[in-house]
Chains A and B, each alone.
Chain A
Amino acid sequence: MKKKLIGAEFCVGLAASLLVGCGSKEETGTEDTATEETTEETTEETTEAEEPAAEESADGYELALVTDIGTIDDKSFNQGAWEGVVQYAEENGITRKYYQPAEKTTDSYVETIELAIEGGAKLVVCPGYLFEEAIYLVQDEYPDIKFILLDGEPHNADYSEYKTGDNVMPILYQEDEAGYLAGYAAVKDGYTKLGFMGGMAVPAVIRYGYGYLQGAEAAAKEMGLDSVEVMYHYTGGFDATPEAQALAASWYEAGTEVIFGCGGGVGNSVMAAAEPASKAVIGVDVDQSPESAAVITSAMKQLSVSVYDGISDFYAGSFKGGETTVFNAANDGVGLPMESSKFKIFTQEDYDAAYEALVSGSVTLINDTTLTTDDLGLSIVKVTVVE
């Protein structure tokens, strides 16, 4: 186990497994279940990670990350962001530490952020929208401390006021572009019967889905296909459920060739259905190819990259506080892991071209989550929405 963990630390650049936005939180589990299993690992990892910095601990830890309620190795936001922190810290010999709140409340997040500051933090990374309120509260109180907030923007409890201090760098991702690349690559690779199984219909998931559909449409148009069929469904949760698995299996049975499993445990359900049927799965958020041989590619958010960049800017004196940074194709914030993808026809050149089209703006996507799939202007792609 130890070996594996050390290994994991060195492979930081390789974005580890993160799951879709909000859905990811489910995976983190609770103190009860997750803690017991991971206690040993985490303890080891902590000591392992801190050893080089031990003598500096008197001055505290400059870089801090506050986990949302899950543990640091949650294969999700905590882990992805932490890997970005560790990579930068190791390259530059900077002390870092992560803190865990006592419970999942705004008060507790604030308390933990304050503990991190007490521990000497100059920059606090807060992975996940759950920290929106907490950062809203602390940003004015600690003007000298910088905060990176992933996947959210600071606001007050009832959403009536949004405010981003100069010391806060909120990061959002354009999931639609990642979804677009996945849909485009799938059709280009010869799949004509696609599926999309999202978790809960929250904006991040919807954007993934709409991007996916538009990508499929674009590829079909280029290839002159008559029709591409897409099964489309939100399970309404982010857990791996027998229902989701059964539905995915029935889609595969009916001819669907590849399903985009977009939402935490839902992806695992899809993988579980795909393996016996020898069908394909598209992963989400992080490179999910290690999780199942059925994963042909993944629509990724470069979490650790964006955290790494944010920290670099901080040390370079150019911290991008005060406004929201959107990570998309243009700044390498989203993409497909081409090295680990299992495409038969779709090549790196095809990918680069499609990517370039997104960067240059020659392709624009509809990502308004209030629209329905009918409003996306699809002509070749036939969407069957399963309620």
Chain B
Amino acid sequence: MKNKGIKIKKSDFGFLSSLFAVFVGLLFGFIILLCSNASQAVPGFLTILTGALTHGNKGAGQVFYYATPIILTGLSVGFAFKTGLFNIGATGQFIAGSFAAVVVGLTLPSLGAVHWTVALLASAAAGAVWGAVPGILKAFFNVNEVISSIMMNYIGLYAVNFTVKGSKTLFDSLRNQSLPLPESSHIPKMGLNLLFPDSSVNGGIFIAVLAALVIYIILNKTTFGFELKAVGFNRNASKYAGINEKKSIILSMVIAGALAGMAGGLLYLAGSGKHIEVVDVLPAEGFTGISVALLGLSNPLGIVLAGLFIAHITSGGFYLQLFEFSTEIIDIIVAVIIYFSAFSLIIRLLFSKISKGRGEVKNHE
């Protein structure tokens, strides 16, 4: 869009490199399947590829359901990355968002029809606050956001555990988790239950895709995005150009945080029976977001595809249980795909180096 010449070629190449990663990852997955049980490797592999689809609309619905939170955490990481920040704290923002959603869900059922909307907004706000802290530290004290946001992950985890456990209105002491949310706080199905009966899918997937679109527009079409990216590429030059670079960094983190927080909100408000468990374990969605962003090359639309893909093979892996494989196989395959998506970045770098070399020579004229 921006550059008609080499740039499009480059992004094409990025897409190809992601495809390559997926291909090699799947190949390795197949080899692993072969090693663990050769006789069922082929049908097993086909199940991974088509798993969600062989189970009809419900399976497809589950893919959308699983994809929803990781698209948003992926967006969170990818957006921050585009603006020069490595938001490894999507996990903490996700936790903060989940917590806010659950609190609003449990305490304000009187809101009625707008209950879920308020809960979702609260989750975005909580995530934003959680993202703002490393942003502020980075902007004013030049604290590396990687470190501060990792710390925010743990602060979020333990603070939420502590609060949930200590609150009678939130805590289900019999189960060591938060109480179930009332119906009014569930994200409406938005007609998806008709398309995908019996599945957990809900309007959240629309919200996630919408968020991706909004992020795409912000980054590529607006002056705001122009500033954020400029600061990401070169903080000094942005300052020189009169951009309030501190504000930009904070806002980047706030938006990234809001996205991750919303991921938490959408998952816990999905009405699938998810609870905040009082355990000392970071939820996986935040880190999966890094993988999604990597595979999607931080491009909002790429992230949607990457999120759907990872959800698809994850759900294919679930159905792989019909064969004599354990679900861990699918974790290995996903890990391999991510591994190779990093590998493909190297290849891409190599290619861009070559094409850059050419570019430089051209400038010799």
Direct contact of A and B (CB under 8 A): yes
Which of A43-51, A209-217, A356-364 sits within the interface?
A: A43-51
A-B contact pairs, 12 of them (CB 8 A): A26-B176, A32-B282, A57-B323, A57-B324, A99-B321, A102-B327, A103-B66, A104-B275, A105-B273, A106-B273, A200-B173, A239-B280
| Cα separation A104 to B200 with both chains bound (whole Å) | 13
Q: Which residue of B lies closest to A134 (CB)?
A: B273
B195 at the interface (CB under 8 A from A): no
Task: Given A111-B62, A119-B321, answer yes or no on A22-B272 (Cβ-Cβ < 8 Å).
Answer: no
B279 at the interface (CB under 8 A from A): yes
B315 at the interface (CB under 8 A from A): yes
A370 smallest CB distance to B (angstroms): 13
| Cα separation A332 to B277 with both chains bound (whole Å) | 33
Q: 1/0 per residue B315-329: CB within 8 Å of A? A: 100110111111111
Q: Which residue of B lies closest to A130 (CB)?
A: B175
| Cα separation A29 to B281 with both chains bound (whole Å) | 7
Complex A-B, nearest 5 residue pairs according to Cβ-Cβ distance, in ascending order: A106-B273, A107-B272, A39-B328, A107-B200, A105-B273
Contacts of B282 in A (CB 8 A): 32
| Cα separation A97 to B284 with both chains bound (whole Å) | 26
B279 engages A119 (CB within 8 Å): no
| Cα separation A50 to B324 with both chains bound (whole Å) | 7
Contacts of B37 in A (CB 8 A): 47
Contacts of B274 in A (CB 8 A): 103-105
Choice from B272, B275, B331 contacting A39 with Cβ under 8 Å: B331
Choice from A26, A100, A129 contacting B326 with Cβ under 8 Å: A100
B325 engages A46 (CB within 8 Å): yes
Known: A46-B325, A102-B327. 5 other contacts (CB 8 A): A30-B284, A33-B281, A42-B328, A106-B272, A115-B322
| Cα separation A97 to B200 with both chains bound (whole Å) | 25
A105 engages B328 (CB within 8 Å): no
| Cα separation A118 to B279 with both chains bound (whole Å) | 32
Task: Given A32-B284, A115-B322, A157-B273, answer yes or no on A237-B278 (Cβ-Cβ < 8 Å).
Answer: yes
B272 engages A105 (CB within 8 Å): yes
Contacts of A35 in B (CB 8 A): 328, 331
B180 engages A157 (CB within 8 Å): yes
Q: 1/0 per residue B321-342: CB within 8 Å of A? A: 1111111110110000000000
Contacts of A133 in B (CB 8 A): 273
A102 engages B314 (CB within 8 Å): yes
Q: On chain B, which size bracket covers the interface?
A: 35 or more
B328 engages A47 (CB within 8 Å): no
A264 smallest CB distance to B (angstroms): 10
| Cα separation A22 to B314 with both chains bound (whole Å) | 28
Q: Which of B180, B273, B287, B325 has the most CB of A within 10 A?
A: B273
Q: 1/0 per residue B259-302: CB within 8 Å of A? A: 00000000000001111011111101001000000000000000
B165 at the interface (CB under 8 A from A): yes
A203 engages B324 (CB within 8 Å): no
| Cα separation A54 to B38 with both chains bound (whole Å) | 12
| Cα separation A97 to B327 with both chains bound (whole Å) | 12
B36 at the interface (CB under 8 A from A): yes
B174 at the interface (CB under 8 A from A): yes
A25 at the interface (CB under 8 A from B): yes
B180 engages A39 (CB within 8 Å): no
Contacts of A36 in B (CB 8 A): 331
A202 at the interface (CB under 8 A from B): yes
Task: Given A106-B272, A158-B180, answer yes or no on A203-B174 (Cβ-Cβ < 8 Å).
Answer: yes
B327 engages A100 (CB within 8 Å): yes
Task: Given A105-B273, A157-B273, answer yes or no on A22-B175 (Cβ-Cβ < 8 Å).
Answer: yes
A238 at the interface (CB under 8 A from B): yes
Within 8 A of B (CB), among A18-40: 22-23, 25-26, 29-33, 35-36, 38-39
| Cα separation A23 to B328 with both chains bound (whole Å) | 24
A236 at the interface (CB under 8 A from B): yes
| Cα separation A118 to B36 with both chains bound (whole Å) | 23
Q: 1/0 per residue B29-64: CB within 8 Å of A? A: 000000011010000000000000000000000100
| Cα separation A106 to B66 with both chains bound (whole Å) | 14
| Cα separation A99 to B94 with both chains bound (whole Å) | 28
B273 engages A107 (CB within 8 Å): yes
B22 smallest CB distance to A (angstroms): 20
Q: Which of B174, B275, B278 has the most CB of A within 10 A?
A: B174
A108 at the interface (CB under 8 A from B): yes
Contacts of A201 in B (CB 8 A): 173
